[in-house]
Amino acid sequence: MKRAHWGSRIGFILATAGSAVGLGNVWKFPYMAAQNGGAAFLLVYVAIVFTIGISVMLAEFAIGRAGERNPVGALRRLKGGPWPVVGYMGIAAAFIILSFYSVVAGWTIAYAFKAAAGVLATSDPEVLGAMFNDFSGNPAQPILYHLLFMALTVGVVAGGIHGGIERSCTILLPLLLLILVVLAVRSLTLPGAMEGLRFYLQPDFSKVSAETFNGALAQAFFSLSLGMGVMITYGSYLSHRENLPRSAMWVTACDLLVALMAGLVILPAVFAFSFDPQAGPGLVFITLPAVFAQMPAGVVFAVLFFVLLVIAALTSSVSLLEVLVAYFVDQWGWRRKSAAVALGFIAFALGIPSSLSLGIWSNFQIAGRSIFDFLDYISSNLLLPLGGLAITLFVGWVILPQAMREATSEGAHPFPLAGIWRVICRYVAPIAIAWILLSGL
């Protein structure tokens, strides 16, 4: 069967940016920045994104388009030997991330309903904290929302590359950007917002440590969807005319912009109402409803915000499921629809322990963490950076001439930064990633 292709250039960019922009940007980034020195974290993060991040993305695009397969198939076709193992690692990471990602995404659906019903309209953080703990620790409700979210993901992926993923992202991503702009304007015009802005934009270098680098690297891989084959898979549906470096530039810039804007929405509002910005993962679910409750027309903004989170999560989860579907369709000859349903169901089942680990299973710990935290940690802090390390080595040392031809589309597009990309793939990225990983242990 002929391989499916993206319908248009902009469709590809929106789908890829849709994968990158997700809960990582809106839910995780603001509290990571708040906990790691605000603006100082920002600087480290931006530096990593524009050196290692964008280079890994381009490397994945090149592998995907040259190999025209899922991550395992592409690496096998381009070189074979031990390299497909990197693809299998990606498959494992996709199962793990999709399983807990969908749990959090399920919360965002529940919170969108709660916001609309007016249940969240209290400014007492204690009440909201108890509400969040009761809800996320409940053995049944979050699992039903997790199932609902997974069903949405399956529905989109079953529709195919062009008719499902590209079409939904083309509508959803612009909508997300619009909601974000409305919310940023609202947040920045609150009295007292300037203090939050100062915290966010004035670096405090005394807070920079090995952990800052570790956190920024993990955050960059997670946020840009790198190191596990999403970009290989999406690249495999690209036409040979597409300008790969330019696409990588657009997607990276878009992802960074959304993260920065999410910080602009959340931190000034939190400061304006004197909440603690370091509240961690609960920030979005506990602190923000309180902020909304104190604002004029807060219910409207609260609903908008949680709808934004659902959209951001959906355009990312489809890319995780697509990696799995592409593998079983290419390598095992499964039909796309059956693959989407079966793999979505497996990922749903795998997510159940994560959800329970926040309630009735909270006493069960692995390496001092709940199941949920453990899976989040090993995927973002270990599997993705390791995958990125292997991918840059593969491009930099194993298929360099072919990758260079791919990056310029056989000379059709000039790529003035080719020399820098080469040095980053060969030396800078592998050494920096290895160094940051080791210093984290």
User: Which of 11, 22, 73, 164 forms a contact with ligand PHE (CB under 6 A)?
Assistant: 22
3-state secondary structure of 366: strand
Dihedral sign (CA 196, 199, 201, 202): positive
User: Which of 99, 319, 357, 370 forms a contact with ligand PHE (CB under 6 A)?
Assistant: 319
Cα–Cα distance, 23 to 290 (Å, whole number): 20
Q: Would you give the end-to-end CA distance of the chain in angstroms?
A: 46
- Minimal distance in Å, beta carbon 81 to ligand PHE? 25
CA atoms within a 13 Å half-sphere pointing along the CA-CB vector of 101: 32
Show the binding pattern over residues 58-97: x = contacts ligand PHE (CB under 6 A), - = does not: ---------------------------------------x
3-state secondary structure of 370: strand
Dihedral sign (CA 61, 62, 67, 73): negative
Q: Residue 315, interface with ligand PHE (CB under 6 A)?
A: no
Q: Residue 57, interface with ligand PHE (CB under 6 A)?
A: no
Q: Which of these, 248, 334, 313, lies nearest to 1 by C-alpha position? A: 334
- Retrieve residue 112's tokens: 């969108």
Q: Residue 252, interface with ligand PHE (CB under 6 A)?
A: no
- Minimal distance in Å, beta carbon 24 to ligand PHE? 2
Q: Residue 325, interface with ligand PHE (CB under 6 A)?
A: no
Interface stretch with ligand PHE, choices 22-30, 326-334, 415-423, 431-439 (CB under 6 A): 22-30
User: Which of 55, 108, 316, 357 forms a contact with ligand PHE (CB under 6 A)?
Assistant: 316
Q: Residue 25, interface with ligand PHE (CB under 6 A)?
A: yes
- Minimal distance in Å, beta carbon 371 to ligand PHE? 19
Q: Residue 302, interface with ligand PHE (CB under 6 A)?
A: no
Q: Which of these, 31, 97, 19, 9, lies nearest to 255 by C-alpha position? A: 19
- Retrieve residue 175's tokens: 């909508």
Q: Residue 358, interface with ligand PHE (CB under 6 A)?
A: no
Q: Which of these, 392, 95, 70, lies nearest to 232 by C-alpha position? A: 70
Cβ 71 vs Cβ 87: under 8 Å: yes
The torsion angle over the Cα atoms of residues 285, 138, 340 and 346, rounded to 10 degrees, is: 130
CA atoms within a 13 Å half-sphere pointing along the CA-CB vector of 379: 24
- Retrieve residue 257's tokens: 């912009």
Q: Residue 339, interface with ligand PHE (CB under 6 A)?
A: no
- Minimal distance in Å, beta carbon 316 to ligand PHE? 4
For the chain, helix, strand, coil in percent to 5 are: 80, 0, 20
Q: Residue 381, interface with ligand PHE (CB under 6 A)?
A: no
CB-wise, 21 or 40, nearer to ligand PHE?
A: 21
Q: How many CB atoms lie within 10 A of CB 2?
A: 4
- Minimal distance in Å, beta carbon 267 to ligand PHE? 18
Residues in the chain: 441
- Minimal distance in Å, beta carbon 192 to ligand PHE? 29
Q: Residue 223, interface with ligand PHE (CB under 6 A)?
A: yes
Show the binding pattern over residues 165-184: x = contacts ligand PHE (CB under 6 A), - = does not: --------------------
Interface stretch with ligand PHE, choices 19-27, 270-278, 360-368, 407-415 (CB under 6 A): 19-27
Cβ 208 vs Cβ 37: under 8 Å: yes
Q: Residue 24, interface with ligand PHE (CB under 6 A)?
A: yes
User: Which of 220, 320, 390, 407 forms a contact with ligand PHE (CB under 6 A)?
Assistant: 320
Cβ 324 vs Cβ 94: under 8 Å: yes
Q: Residue 222, interface with ligand PHE (CB under 6 A)?
A: yes
Q: Residue 35, interface with ligand PHE (CB under 6 A)?
A: no
CB-wise, 259 or 358, nearer to ligand PHE?
A: 259
- In eight-state DSSP terms, residue 369 is E
Q: Residue 225, interface with ligand PHE (CB under 6 A)?
A: yes
Which residue carries 């993060």 as its tokens?
A: 45
Q: Residue 19, interface with ligand PHE (CB under 6 A)?
A: yes
- Minimal distance in Å, beta carbon 26 to ligand PHE? 8
Q: Residue 142, interface with ligand PHE (CB under 6 A)?
A: no
Cα–Cα distance, 326 to 330 (Å, whole number): 6
- Minimal distance in Å, beta carbon 19 to ligand PHE? 5
Residues that bind ligand PHE (CB under 6 A): 19-20, 22-25, 97, 222-223, 225, 228, 230, 316, 319-320
